[in-house]
Amino acid sequence: MYKIIFIDDSIYEGGQDLNKTLWKEIPNKLIKQINYVLNEKYVCLKEYEAYNHLVEKININRKNSISRVILMGKKDNNVKCVIFDFIKNIFFEEDKEWLKEYNNKPTKGWKSGVNYDT
């Protein structure tokens, strides 16, 4: 599902399944870039100060179903959100303000990256 390339060029591959993304197991190293493949869509996020992602679930007929996956890259006070909406079967991007990136609230789970602009 994703491959992380760290600043030391080591690689971490995680998440063969959206229910077990292994995001919390990512080593504590500076991230150079993250390559994602979801529903045959390829996304590369690179040169961000920090990275995050969310797997949004909804309850349908008493069963949790994945509705959206949101990939995030933070630079300065802006967050680029790449959104895979499985309900509407669409893929799009949004720019959000830092600390208001998800429903106008901050998210947890950010991983440190490398910002080459500084």
The pLDDT tens digits for 55-90 are 998 887 777 788 999 999 999 999 999 999 988 999
Give the list of residues 6+ apart from residue 54 with CB closer than 8 angstroms, or none: 68, 69, 70, 72, 102, 107
31-64: pLDDT as tens digits: 999 999 887 889 999 999 999 999 998 887 777 7
CA angle, corner 52, sides to 94 and 9, nearest 5? 115
Q: Is the CB of residue 98 less than 8 Å from the CB of residue 107?
A: no
Can you tell me the distance from the alpha carbon of 18 to that of 108, in angstroms, rounded to the nearest whole number?
A: 18
- The residues pairing with 73 across neighbouring beta strands, listed in sequence order, are 51, 80
